[in-house]
Amino acid sequence: MSKTVKIAIMGAMLEEVEPFLAPDEREPLLAFFKKHNDVRYGGNLYHEAKYKGVDIVLAYSKIGKVNAALTASTMIEKFGAQMLLFTGVAGGVNPEFKIGDLVAATQLCQHDLDITAFGHPHGYVPEGAVFVKPDAKLLRIAKAVADEKGIDLKKGIIATGDQFIADEAKKSWIKATFDADAIEMEGAAVAVVCDALDVPFFVMRSISDSADMDATFDFDAFLKHSSQRSSSFVMGMLDKIVDDLAQ
Ligand code: ADE
């Protein structure tokens, strides 16, 4: 990794990046980030900061694939991010995943992308791929962080779509069609952008609900707690990445 790497930290909702932000706007971004600039662009607020000498850009995109694609592209093209770490929550599809569990995406797909009418598989468009993979080195760093902290890090396929899933039938369809382990609304959009622009990326999600009939209730109840778990894991990864850069 180059010594000059600029790292993007991204979530979809304010709650997902809030653990990185000071409650009082006059304070720097938590004790560990030194904030040096706030930029409003395209309807979002980007915080430029420094962490142990490394440049950071932090933002939440707002919910959904289009917003996520705009923010990921902006972080890369306007702010010069050379690596992107996504943090947030997801609905669990794999029955072994419990609320609060940490899931690192091994592949991401768009469950609502459908030109099957033309004989293509679900999630596929010509010149694209159904699944996009995060950076292998960042996945290894995640495993190392989990091992060091004694965290039972889950891995799995994340299916993304512009729908909050709170329905057993839809959830089963997504599981059957993509072998998905978790569902959310931004990851694959970020993956497509980073893959196209050749930027290593990683998607971390903590389970907030089980995408079933209780999902809206659970989501509201666990959004904050699960966001905290995900962001604290990503912070651990950031430490390791920064240490690697220093060597
Ligand atoms: N993010 C968290 N839970 C979700 C769900 N059930 N559906 C879509 N996105 C989610």
Domain harbouring 41, CATH code: 3.40.50.1580
d(CA 97, CA 171): 14
Count up the domains in the chain and report the number: 1
Ligand 1 lined by 187 (C-beta under 6 Å)? no
- pLDDT for 46: 95
Q: Tell me, yes or no, if 55 is annotated catalytic.
A: no
Q: Tell me, yes or no, if 25 is annotated catalytic.
A: no
Would residue 62 count as lying in a domain? yes
Q: Which atom of ligand 1 is nearest to the CA of 91?
A: 3
Compute the distance from residue 36 Cα to the ligand 1 centre, in Å.
Answer: 33
Range of the domain at 151: 6-246
Would residue 115 count as lying in a domain? yes
- pLDDT for 29: 62
Ligand 1 lined by 165 (C-beta under 6 Å)? yes
Would residue 37 count as lying in a domain? yes
Ligand 1 lined by 215 (C-beta under 6 Å)? yes
Would residue 223 count as lying in a domain? yes
Ligand 1 lined by 218 (C-beta under 6 Å)? no
Would residue 197 count as lying in a domain? yes
Would residue 52 count as lying in a domain? yes
- pLDDT for 1: 47
Would residue 1 count as lying in a domain? no
- pLDDT for 36: 76
- pLDDT for 24: 57
Would residue 143 count as lying in a domain? yes
Per-residue pLDDT for the chain (247 aa), expressed as one digit of tens each? 446 789 999 999 999 998 888 665 545 566 667 777 899 999 999 999 988 889 999 999 999 999 999 999 999 999 999 999 999 999 999 999 999 999 999 999 999 999 999 999 999 999 999 999 999 999 999 999 999 999 999 999 999 999 999 999 999 999 999 999 999 999 999 999 999 999 999 999 999 999 999 999 999 999 999 999 999 999 999 999 999 888 8
Q: Which atom of ligand 1 is nearest to the CA of 166?
A: 6
Pocket test for ligand 1, best of 16, 61, 89, 183 (most atoms within 8 A of CB): 183
CB-based contacts of 54, cutoff 8 Å, min separation 6: 5, 6, 7, 241, 242, 245
Pocket test for ligand 1, best of 170, 174, 208, 225 (most atoms within 8 A of CB): 208
Ligand 1 lined by 146 (C-beta under 6 Å)? no
